[in-house]
Amino acid sequence: MGKLGVGIGDDFPIDEPNEPDSANPEARAQYEAKREEWRKARAEWRKRRDEWRAKRRELREEWHRERERFRAEMCARFGDWHEHGRSDNSHEDGWLNVPMAIAILVIAAIVLIAANAAASHLYLLLGALVLGGLYFAWRRGSDRFDFHRFDEPPRLTPPV
């Protein structure tokens, strides 16, 4: 039994059994009928689930068969991959050799050093960004700190 219908201060019905009283044969029959109906529905659902799984397995096997057929057809038409200098093991092709590995490590080290420098000077970078924004806003003509007098209209052109 769930917590629905249990209000504040009510006792939680833990000790109440799910089964009806065995003294009332009509309630017991209804309970057994519901239970049997639920079991039939569960068995039907399991049967459908097994059918779905079998269909999925069949589609997967069909996909693998079709893929192997296509590969065999392409190998027959264009030759095997090994004839074109490619193999299943890419490290045997020579593209991942020592100079390439060193270059990758050097690039990774440069990226890490740049990230560390940016993180350690974060406040300086943010300050430079704010000052740059203020400078470009002032160059565009919108000066936020220009307190003009209210008794005269603002000038459209700067004084000479």
76 and 121 part of one domain = no
Q: What is the pLDDT of residue 152?
A: 62
Would you state the pLDDT for residue 122?
Answer: 81
- The gap from C-alpha 18 to its chain's centroid, in whole angstroms, comes to 42
Task: Judge whether 150 lies within some domain.
Answer: yes
Last residue in a domain, options 53, 87, 121: 87
pLDDT at 1: 47
Q: Would you say residue 4 lies in a domain?
A: no
Q: Is residue 16 part of a domain?
A: yes
Domain count, the chain: 2
At 61 the pLDDT is 96
Residue ranges in the chain modelled with pLDDT below 70: 1-22, 81-96, 141-160
The pair of three-digit structure tokens given for residue 83, joined into one six-digit string: 């004839």
If asked whether residues 74 and 110 sit together in one domain, one would say: no
From 34, 67, 87, the end of a domain falls on 87
pLDDT of residue 67: 94
Q: Are 151 and 129 members of one domain?
A: yes
How far is residue 158's CA from residue 160's CA, in Å, rounded to a whole number?
6
Q: How far is CA 74 from the centre of its chain?
A: 36
Query: Tokens 């779905």 map to which residue?
Result: 52
Range of the domain at 118: 96-160
